[in-house]
Amino acid sequence: MNKKSLDEINGSVKVPTVYESAFWQKFLAYCGPGALVAVGYMDPGNWLTSLTGGAQYRYSLLSVLILSILIAMIMQSLSIKLGVVTRTDLAQAIAARVSKPVRIILWILNELAMMATDLTGVIGTSVALYLLFHLPLIVGVLLTVADVIVVLLFLQFGIRRIEFIVLATILIVAGIFTIEVVRAHPEWSPILNGCIPSANIINNHAQLLLSLGIIGATIMPHNIYLHSALAQSRRYDEHDPRQVHETLQFANWDSIIHLVAALLVNALLMIMGGTLFFHHGNLNSLADVFDGLNNSKIVGSLASPVMSGLFGFALLITGLISSITSTLAGQIVMEGYINLRLPLWKRRLLTRLVTLIPVIIIGCCIHFNEQEFEQLIIIAQIILSVALPFTLFPLIIITSNHQIMGQYANRHWQMISYLIIVLALTFLNFAALF
């Protein structure tokens, strides 16, 4: 029998019963896991695609961002339902229903996906250190090994304090980009028009490819695994149908609210790119944005070292915070598929060291050229695109099984709808790769 998912935090947060406390007390008790998941929708891969989308096509791809988050909400809700109803995470649920060779293959594939997620954190953190403190990229990459200490320090605080720290990070990042967008004085009418899907996106090949990049950067495997475990951090009576129903209700509200926050952050990035850099087609990297915010030839009187510094600081803290979620997701995958338990510091150190080896080799080959170095994010997105269907298809099939889910199983029309969505995502992702 498998041990509890994320045993250190499983059932560690007591929540009110259905017969006590007001609505807001219950909501606050359940609020938190969604923040940890939302951070995964704000990593450097999302930053790069959102800023590039704004710089190249102004606000027209805002509709793609909205569509991506709507799909993410559906998939995260299935992940929540699996964790709450069955008290198992997705890795455990899949491993219990496939043969050993298939389990090993899925473990390897998902470990690669976890490392790809970690790669974006490495790039984001090292680029931020380069921009803020002029540290060579190789030094920044090596310093990311030290985030093992940061992760372990945070995990010692307990899940509720981690959730609070992550929520504070999201609010800080959202505040920074709100300030930068307000200072840019964007035109709100074109922004609202950009929220409406346009046929031009499909007809323009380059625009379609970037749209696929935005979708691929938004929906990532590690968030699905993570949410199925974090949903179990609340201590509720799993034998009381009313308590299970209420847990599902509040966990989904928590997820939706925080994913809306992630949408706003990405939308602010795209609006900033569309307002400040639309007439300057040379936006190819995060460093271009950093430099542009302090360049009067690009942003005119808005140029300010404070604005560029805030941008770099936001990039740094999101890179560090994302280490927490990638560590937890990696633990879920390792324990769920092969039932191997490692101390968190060993797990974190192993993941980071394995991630650093190809980063350093490729970095040396390109002489750590900053723009080319950031293109490693594209490699990460390719790996994540390949791994995504192996996460979403099993999730849909398992949550549609009445023997596993009982009354909470997806209805037939829901299962068909979800499978069509994932088939379309898979086709578009692979079409973009080739």
Distance CA 110, CA 106 (A): 6
pLDDT tens track for 128-160: 999 999 999 888 888 887 776 776 677 777 788
Q: Which pLDDT belongs to residue 419? A: 96
Q: Is residue 169 assigned to a domain? A: yes
What phi and psi, each to the nearest 5 degrees, are found at residue 309?
-65, -40
Looking up tokens 């981690």, which residue turns up? 162
pLDDT tens track for 272-289: 999 988 876 567 788 888
Confidence at 1, pLDDT banded by 50, 70, 90: very low
CB 60 within 8 A of CB 143: no
- The average pLDDT across 26-41 equals 91
pLDDT tens track for 292-314: 888 877 777 778 888 899 999 99
pLDDT tens track for 196-213: 988 887 777 778 778 877
Q: Is residue 285 assigned to a domain? A: yes
Distance CA 87, CA 129 (A): 40
Q: 302: domain range?
A: 13-433
Q: Is residue 4 assigned to a domain? A: no
Q: Which pLDDT belongs to residue 364? A: 84
SS (H, E, C) 13-38: EECCCCCCCCHHHHHHHHCCHHHHHH
Q: Is residue 260 assigned to a domain? A: yes
Q: Is residue 236 assigned to a domain? A: yes
pLDDT exceeds cutoff 80 at 381: no
- The average pLDDT across 405-433 equals 89
- The average pLDDT across 411-417 equals 96
Q: Is residue 116 assigned to a domain? A: yes
pLDDT tens track for 62-121: 999 999 999 999 999 999 999 999 999 999 999 999 999 999 999 999 988 888 888 888
Count of domains in the chain?
A: 1
- CATH number, domain of 21, equals 1.20.1740.10
Higher-pLDDT residue of 214, 64 = 64
Conformation bin of residue 410: beta by default, left when phi > 0, alpha when psi is -120 to 50: beta
Nearest to 328 by CA among 155, 166, 108, 72: 155
Nearest to 67 by CA among 188, 175, 177, 197: 197
